[in-house]
Amino acid sequence: MHKHREVLPPDYHMTIAEIERRFYPLSFFMSEDGRHIESLSAYSWSFEGRYSIPPAVGPRHTTDVVSFPTYADAVTFCHRKQEEVDMFLAWEKKAARCEVYPERNAWYAQEIEQLTGNLPVLYGTLFKAHAVVIDTNGTWYCEDAPALDEAMIHLYERVYAEKTSVSSTEPVSA
């Protein structure tokens, strides 16, 4: 009986190469038209150890290229990498809609209102948080960040820097 190997879904952007009875998970990027592979790269255990979510069980490798003695182990690694990507994307979506320091943001909003004459608007999109304000002269200020708190801080810093530098360079009338 011939055993069929599991094929990875195309949205993983991964494949598995067999070289000298070892199985190497590889990531790839397709051309815009989807007709050919533009780049192919191996995974590194040192990178995985530093930046990835560690496996719950099993040995932790620290050096060399990621490879496995069986095809099934390489497939499991690919599924884990895809799950990690999905988790990071979910975290980014949640962070873009999360306000951790509402009191601090209220203070920033009051300060921005004093500088511009208007309250800023905070909103989250799929992966980014945005803070926007329009001053009484019609100048738009918009800052994007991974989280609402960061967007508000960046907006305040930008408005403060621009408003204080303008007021310090204006001529004094006698």
Q: How many residues would you count in the chain? A: 174
Neighbours of 14 (CB within 10 A): 20
Helices (H), 56-147: 71-96, 102-116
Residue 16 burial (C-beta neighbours within 10 Å; 0-12, 13-18, 19+):
buried
CA distance 63 to 78: 18
- Nearest-Å Rg of the Cα atoms of the chain is 25
pLDDT in tens, 41-67: 899 998 888 888 877 777 777 779 999
CA distance 135 to 91: 33
pTM for this predicted structure: 0.60
Low-confidence stretches of the chain (pLDDT < 70) are: 1-3, 166-174
And the tokens for 149?
Answer: 């708190």
